[in-house]
Structure 1
């Protein structure tokens, strides 16, 4: 009995010291949504191994793709997009949730952010049905503009309805939603520390096995090489960066970004190159980073300050960049003593 008691005491001391908990850093990833995803998590004896976690994560990603992809004709949202005006279609709750989120963001930005810009994206050459990358003529813009506007959508019970031939594009928020779903599933599996990322949207919770924070590199908005503008510590927040530097074209000496302002029907032209947002929800970080980027360096900054959105702005200045972050952002990314 003395020997057994001695063993128990030693085990308790080891647990209190953190030595008895066998923690390893597991990681996996793969293709998704036309890009990639990656998961890192701290595995303890109580949580599943990477094969099982990957199976569940990829199940979520496959569901999001079936429901929300604009690049497959059989997705729920593309079947809705093919319907004519004055049509309704039963929808799964996740799609209705994103429609409500899109309405909230549209109203908050006076219509600058809008989920129904897919016809405009196609017209400018950036969308899934784009035929040519060019500046469209005024008549084409006016005609397509009749099919844009969140006000043309409404929810009737479990149905999504439209009174014009609008087409919904979830690319500004679907990845953030997927990250939130993955984070919730990891938590349900008993995983307390993880870094979940999909197509660049991410959420980090807890710490690595050595007790250090998850560190996220914010890229300088360049299209020629990857350069870290800043590295931040993240715990408990979704992180999203929206920028105009990866998908654009030039015509007659002018640069046209894939980020469109639904109010004008045209790409943004201001000097704000990228915005990083931290929010408890990766979905809201995803949507708000796009919203702020569309609004620009003055209106976007004013919105972030008014609504206490933790934001990091990168603006073009000459041949380089200048940065600006608000108090909310600095407080969330401050190194803990």
Structure 2
């Protein structure tokens, strides 16, 4: 069975000129691969493939320099090392990301929290390295006592963030989405009106292909051992798609799976029946963060949040009789 989703709240895409040229640009960044497909016009100075490649790489490098947990020279790592009560100035885009993250933390009552960096490391999903056994309860409790999103102080006037002395930020749940948005802004500044961007499985698209068909993409979904996987397709025009799933990063101990999505309220990996959550949103940064937040909330509370905030979300639950889908009202409205 195939489900097809069509965006509702965007203008019809412009028909590409007959002489438009298709370019596919690729590279590696943020510990993953990226691909950009786009239509450019011959003779347009901003549409030169080499120039576009260089510009995209510059955008990604800037994200890494600001927000990487894995690069000790990044602004994020500098903040995580800073002494207690020190204010650190942030670039406007970095500040905007933190500001949105704290808003989502407040909205979800801490189900989403970028201050869980030490917990991520403790569980072996950060730069400290992988582990094959779960950490001690006492260590988890100690990390919880170090503080959470409520501990962060933002200075909106001067675009500053204050270190409490015990907080470590981790932006892995929002950084890739933010990077896609930065690439999209760059492309649109070059008068590119037809593109599909993919970074580590997350996507953002605009316009249509040369044959006037949409940028069709398949929504990531976990395999069901007993039944053929249901296929989900979305036309990405003015939309981004991000998926959070328990089947990507995990380790097993004594027959139990510990997935990489942590519940920052408890300090432990999420334990619910959700296999994956997919969010469609104009902003990939928000889609990225929301997919994680809804996964932590679980299907019932996550669906309630998505409906209350008009978020297009698809929930896939594991049940004894196979995968079951639930979708928010906004997602169901996009079904073709």
| Pair in the same fold by TM > 0.5 | yes
Q: Name the CA distance, whole Å, in 1 between partners of 2:149 and 2:241.
A: 26
Instruction: For residue 332 of structure 1, give the secondary structure of its aligned residue in structure 2.
Output: coil
Unaligned runs of 5+ residues in structure 1 are 1-17
Q: Name the CA distance, whole Å, in 2 between partners of 1:223 and 1:116.
A: 34
Counterpart pick for 2:243 among 241, 244, 249: 241
User: What is the CA-CA distance between 1:130 and the residue it aligns to?
Assistant: 3.7
Query: What are the Cα deviations for residues 176-227 of structure 1, in whole angstroms up to 9, with x where unaligned?
Result: 1111111111111111111012122221111001010111111222499x96
Q: Assess, with a 3 A threshold, how the Cα gap between structure 1 residues 28 and 72 changes in structure 2: closer, same or farther.
A: same
Note if 1:160 corresponds to 2:157.
Answer: no
Note if 1:119 corresponds to 2:121.
Answer: no
Q: Name the CA distance, whole Å, in 2 between partners of 1:127 and 1:84.
A: 21
Note if 1:251 corresponds to 2:253.
Answer: yes
Number of the residue aligned with 2:216: 215
Q: Assess, with a 3 A threshold, how the Cα gap between structure 1 residues 258 and 264 changes in structure 2: closer, same or farther.
A: same
Q: Name the CA distance, whole Å, in 1 between partners of 2:306 and 2:17.
A: 45
Contact 1:112 1:295 in 2 (8 A): yes
Q: Name the CA distance, whole Å, in 1 between partners of 2:48 and 2:175.
A: 27
Query: What are the Cα deviations for residues 64-97 of structure 1, in whole angstroms up to 9, with x where unaligned?
Result: 0011000010000001101232222222222211
Q: Assess, with a 3 A threshold, how the Cα gap between structure 1 residues 98 and 216 changes in structure 2: closer, same or farther.
A: same
Which protein is bigger by CA-based radius of gyration?
1
User: What is the CA-CA distance between 1:319 and the residue it aligns to?
Assistant: 6.9
Contact 2:16 2:210 in 1 (8 A): no
Q: Assess, with a 3 A threshold, how the Cα gap between structure 1 residues 306 and 24 changes in structure 2: closer, same or farther.
A: same
Query: What are the Cα deviations for residues 270-304 of structure 1, in whole angstroms up to 9, with x where unaligned?
Result: 01111111111111111111111111111111111
Which is helix-richer, 1 or 2? Answer: 1
Q: Assess, with a 3 A threshold, how the Cα gap between structure 1 residues 222 and 118 changes in structure 2: closer, same or farther.
A: farther
Q: Report the count of equivalent residues.
A: 316
Q: Name the CA distance, whole Å, in 2 between partners of 1:173 and 1:252.
A: 31
Counterpart pick for 2:31 among 31, 34, 58: 34
Q: Name the CA distance, whole Å, in 2 between partners of 1:275 and 1:33.
A: 22
TM norm structure 1 = 0.88
Unaligned runs of 5+ residues in structure 2 are 1-14
Q: Assess, with a 3 A threshold, how the Cα gap between structure 1 residues 136 and 146 changes in structure 2: closer, same or farther.
A: same
Note if 1:24 corresponds to 2:25.
Answer: no
Q: Name the CA distance, whole Å, in 1 between partners of 2:112 and 2:216.
A: 30
Contact 1:125 1:134 in 2 (8 A): no
Contact 2:132 2:253 in 1 (8 A): no
Contact 1:219 1:227 in 2 (8 A): no
Contact 2:16 2:208 in 1 (8 A): no
Q: RMSD of aligned C-alpha atoms? A: 2.1
Single out whichever of 56-65 and 179-188 deviates more from structure 2: 179-188
Number of the residue aligned with 2:199: 198
Q: Name the CA distance, whole Å, in 2 between partners of 1:189 and 1:332.
A: 30
Contact 1:196 1:203 in 2 (8 A): yes
